[in-house]
Structure 1
Amino acid sequence: MASQQNIEQAEKTNWHHEDLAMKTAAQYFGEELLPLLEIRGEVEYIVPTETVKLETRQFYQDFNYAMKEGNWVHLEFESDEITREDLKRFREYEAAASRAYKVDIVTYVICSADVKELLCELKAGINTYRVEVIRLKGKDADRLFKAIEEKKAKGVALTKTDLVPLLLTPLMSGNLEIGERIIKSLKILHMAEAPITQLELEKMQAVLYTFADKFLDKNKLAKVKEVIRMTLLGEMLINDGIEQGIEKGREQALQVVIEICEELGLTFEHTVEKVETRFDKEPRSAREIVERYWK
């Protein structure tokens, strides 16, 4: 039983870490990547990606941005070819969010599928629904990596302008697989001495982690996570997990102490004294703790 609880707790911690990386990536997409993707307009703030309809179905979108021009930009990531079912889903997202928030929405589908033609229109009755498809397969990730390596070999310092395109390498063409491109980009960022802040570096790493989470299978994602652990983002997530683990362990220990006191037939007041002694708590804090767990 305890083993199962530990597994469930570990899964919840992983979800928290992945959610943190996703949110960080979303902010960076709006600030830096939309111009690179040639999406016009200026982001004002990030907006909700969950829309609850009357029948209590929930629609989970990838990223939404409120633009200063008054409309929303909705981003979706697809590693496979775009199907009619995908377009129906995107249309439903748009309709629900547009009605709920009273805004016009344009959906951009960032697709890494290696197919010649991508579906971007859905005809339904007299209506035609369209999305804007973004493909970077015309750009070569190998050439980008080579240019950076040549610059480093000459002793020329990398700039932020050199590093930002690395975030789009998972969407480009090249001899390396997507997972290998992500790992190589993470390593370049980790070793770079460009004039960027630690926060900017963490955001860049989070963007690559987001692509890995979207496009890679479980085994390939595990390899990316190994590299992530060596980065600033990885250190941040690990430290966050340690702090949560310490607090969780402390709560479990307190609960065990109180249960043992109950089994021994000790009174509420005696238990308060034992918690105060065992965990060096103020009497008021010890009383609050015992009240929390006392059956």
Structure 2
Amino acid sequence: MKKRKEKDSAGQNREQKERTGLNHEDLALKTAAQYFGDELLPLLGIPGRVKYIAPTENVKLQARQMYQDFNYISGSGSWIHLEFESDSITKEDLRRFREYEAATSRSFNVAVVTYVICTSGVKQLLSKLTEGINSYQVKVIRLKNRDADRVIEQLEEKQKRGKALDKSDLVPLLLTPLMSGKLEIVDRIIKSLHILREASSSVTEMELEKMQAVLYALADKFLQEQELDRVKEMIAMTKLGEMLLKDGMERGLADGKAEGKVEGKAEGESKIVAIIRKKRQKNLNVQMIAENLELDASYVGKVVALMEEDPTRTDLQVAEILVRQE
């Protein structure tokens, strides 16, 4: 299985996120967190009933924010902390998890149990750290006995036979990135998103968005940048993608009030331009792109014209021109 980054790069990336306050797309992460708590913890064998989603940020004295993956408050009042790892678990990882637990426990005066959800490719399942007179331990969960290829294949075959998939069929699909199998994780996620799209009539729109959000969050956690772009392109054509895009534009507008309305709105609109550019690179014409993304053809035409007029223009530069033309 491909690693998203080498261990030192992963650590630097996490540190950068902690320093700057950046994390997953907030909207997708919150949606995924809700669905994990409601539906997926029992499938992972984690005991207890989730009562609330808990905060995942702790601010230390040096103002470094520590971002955790998912936190939940159980019915007993203790906290369930989930972390995802695509690499072997190291002592440094355990020190980081211990730091999270200590900060959370002291801040909220609660007991915390950390579960580390590993992909099947993880070889070193280190779960205990002993330093001085103290010992720290996490609970490791690995779905190595589940075959992602088989799960996906069975659902694809069922759809080909014209049989409807229900929620019980689709929920295990969301854990395929963590299972064993020959398919790369990016292909599992893309195939899973395709199956969800074809089965959209079997669940509510809200349920579908939550399922897509779980896959998006796992993609953001495990995939390399180019692989993640493939997933983003597919997500862009879903209702969740529209929500993320709208959220990005709204944030751009909010930032623009402080730094200039044009710049703020252009930053949000550049995301749309980026998606159109990728479609154009696949030789889709304006009408096809407009239908594919459910956008106004005249708008897509303007974007394409600006791109072709000067191929060196960046997505943000194209967006700035569009905003000024409004």
Partner of residue 204, structure 1:
211
Contact 1:87 1:121 in 2 (8 A): yes
Number of aligned residue pairs: 239
Measured against aligned partners, the alpha-carbon deviations of 1:37-59 in whole angstroms (never above 9, x if no partner) come to 11111111111111123343332
Closer/same/farther in 2, CA of residues 17 and 117 from structure 1, 3 Å limit: closer
Find the aligned partners of 1:79 and 1:116 in 2 and give their Cα distance: 10
Partner of residue 196, structure 2:
189
Tell me the CA shift for residue 205 of structure 1.
0.4
Partner of residue 145, structure 2:
138
Q: How does 1:266-277 map to 2 (within 5 A)?
A: none
Partner of residue 83, structure 1:
90
Partner of residue 154, structure 2:
147
Partner of residue 278, structure 1:
none
Partner of residue 220, structure 2:
213
Tell me the CA shift for residue 29 of structure 1.
0.9
Partner of residue 261, structure 2:
252
Tell me the CA shift for residue 194 of structure 1.
4.7
- Matched residue type, 1:114: G
- Matched residue type, 1:153: K
Contact 1:72 1:106 in 2 (8 A): yes
Partner of residue 283, structure 1:
none
- Matched residue type, 2:162: G
Find the aligned partners of 1:140 and 1:68 in 2 and give their Cα distance: 32
Contact 2:24 2:217 in 1 (8 A): no
Tell me the CA shift for residue 245 of structure 1.
6.1
Q: 5+ unaligned residues in a row in structure 2: which ranges? A: 1-21, 263-326
Is 2:193 the partner of 1:170?
no
Q: TM-score with structure 1 length normalisation? A: 0.75
Tell me the CA shift for residue 236 of structure 1.
2.1
Tell me the CA shift for residue 64 of structure 1.
0.7
Indicate which of 96, 100, 111 corresponds to 2:118: 111
Find the aligned partners of 2:56 and 2:122 in 1 and give their Cα distance: 28
Tell me the CA shift for residue 240 of structure 1.
3.9
Contact 2:156 2:195 in 1 (8 A): no
Partner of residue 285, structure 1:
none
Partner of residue 234, structure 1:
241
Larger Rg: 1
Closer/same/farther in 2, CA of residues 193 and 202 from structure 1, 3 Å limit: closer
Closer/same/farther in 2, CA of residues 17 and 230 from structure 1, 3 Å limit: farther
| SS of residue paired to 1:135 | strand
| SS of residue paired to 1:118 | coil
Find the aligned partners of 2:200 and 2:35 in 1 and give their Cα distance: 20
Contact 1:158 1:193 in 2 (8 A): no
Measured against aligned partners, the alpha-carbon deviations of 1:199-252 in whole angstroms (never above 9, x if no partner) come to 110111011000110001111111111111111211222344456667888973
Q: TM-score with structure 2 length normalisation? A: 0.68
- Matched residue type, 1:84: K
Find the aligned partners of 1:100 and 1:115 in 2 and give their Cα distance: 32
Identical positions, percent: 64
- Matched residue type, 2:159: K
Find the aligned partners of 2:176 and 2:230 in 1 and give their Cα distance: 17
Contact 1:159 1:194 in 2 (8 A): no
Measured against aligned partners, the alpha-carbon deviations of 1:118-166 in whole angstroms (never above 9, x if no partner) come to 1011111232211011111221011101211222233221010000111
Q: 5+ unaligned residues in a row in structure 1: which ranges? A: 1-14, 254-295
Measured against aligned partners, the alpha-carbon deviations of 1:48-100 in whole angstroms (never above 9, x if no partner) come to 11112334333211111011111000001111000001001111111111011
Closer/same/farther in 2, CA of residues 244 and 103 from structure 1, 3 Å limit: closer
Contact 1:80 1:113 in 2 (8 A): no
Contact 2:78 2:112 in 1 (8 A): yes
Indicate which of 122, 133, 137 corresponds to 1:126: 133
Closer/same/farther in 2, CA of residues 92 and 150 from structure 1, 3 Å limit: same
Contact 2:200 2:208 in 1 (8 A): no
Closer/same/farther in 2, CA of residues 61 and 145 from structure 1, 3 Å limit: same
What is the RMSD computed on CA atoms of the aligned residues?
2.2
Closer/same/farther in 2, CA of residues 239 and 58 from structure 1, 3 Å limit: closer
Find the aligned partners of 1:121 and 1:17 in 2 and give their Cα distance: 28
Contact 2:173 2:192 in 1 (8 A): yes
Find the aligned partners of 1:16 and 1:128 in 2 and give their Cα distance: 30
